[in-house]
Homo-oligomer: A and B are copies of this chain.
Amino acid sequence: MFTLPEQVKIVEVGPRDGFQNIKQYIATETKLSIIETMVAAGVTSMEVTSFVHPKAIPQMADAAQVAETVASKYQNTAFKPIALVPNLTGGKKAYSTGIREVSYVISASEKHNLENINRTHIQSLEDLSNIVKELPDLKVRLDVATSFGCPFLGRVDDGLVTNLIQEAVKLGIKTVVLCDTIGVADPLLVYNLASKVKTTFSNVEVGLHLHDTRGMALANTLAGLEAGITIFEASVGGLGGCPFAPGAAGNAATEDLINMFHAMGIKTDIDLSKYIEATRIVREKVQDVLTSRMAYACSYKHI
């Protein structure tokens, strides 16, 4: 018999991880309307934007406007917006808009970290340390990229992941997210790594960020549930997650996760039919062909 939790927490990452892959500029009001529809459906945690340099990702040029609008609108509500920040400068900008939770990314594979953000592990950890010290009111989540596999290393050793988390914990980090950056995790790998990280760091919140590149997003989610994980990042419509090829899937689709959780009697506090409204806006205004399964399954009558 499965051991399943009663409740899970979904962290929506579509407006950050999804939108940043879209070349065509999405109007700020469209971004806000998608965010608001998801919040109305019950999403309480969401990466709403990214404070990267607009030259690197022009889609995020309106980061301050999006963050400020959202932080102000939902102040003193259950909804907590998150922004991705690449460094202390980004952290300060996010803080000034009213954001109080940020994601910071380091790859378990140092080679990937160097290729991706041109920093060694030591440089990335120094940067993280500066953010934590200079912005003590900011909650910082550590996204451990390439936790399961890396385009340079292949399989990533458990030890690389736990060593990096160990260093982050020393700096005061209390939430880490194991990210399947290139979509090569399998259920056994997820179960084993998630169990190890949870056991090793019993005071740390551990989340999973899974991709559907090889169709295993929900199988890996199930393995995560069985390992005791209750925090799952996912993206509306399955947007983002760096798909390399046309037709390829990237991020796990939020609506697919919600549907599976509800089917098994696991609460998310999100209303799926209301959430699907956000998927419809995304199809209409952002990208007409989505990799989410529920985006299509919902277009005929559900039993």
Contacts and interface: CB of A to CB of B under 8 A. Distances in A.
B260 A293 contact: no
A259 B299 contact: no
Given A191-B2, A219-B260, A222-B219, A303 B182 contact: yes
Contacts of A289: 247
A164 interface: no
A293 B214 contact: yes
A168 interface: no
A265 interface: yes
Nearest to A261: B186
Contacts of A219: 218-219, 221-222, 260
A2 to B, nearest CB: 6
Contact residues on A (Cβ < 8 Å of other chain), bracket: 35 or more
Nearest to A256: B215
Contacts of A279: none
A150 B218 contact: no
A187 B297 contact: no
Contact of A215 (B149, B183, B260): B260
Interface string A35-77: 0000000000000000000000000000000000000000000
Contacts of A297: 183, 213-214, 245, 248-249
Contacts of A212: 215, 293
Contacts of A213: 293, 297
Residue of A4, A247, A294, A299 with highest tally of chain B CB at under 10 A: A247
Contacts of A217: 215
B300 A245 contact: yes
Interface of A: 1-2, 4, 149-151, 154-155, 182-184, 186-189, 191, 212-219, 221-223, 226, 243-249, 253, 256, 259-260, 263-265, 289, 292-297, 299-300, 303
Give the 8 A-B residue pairs with the shortest CB-CB distance, closest first: A215-B293, A186-B263, A218-B219, A248-B296, A215-B256, A244-B300, A188-B264, A247-B296
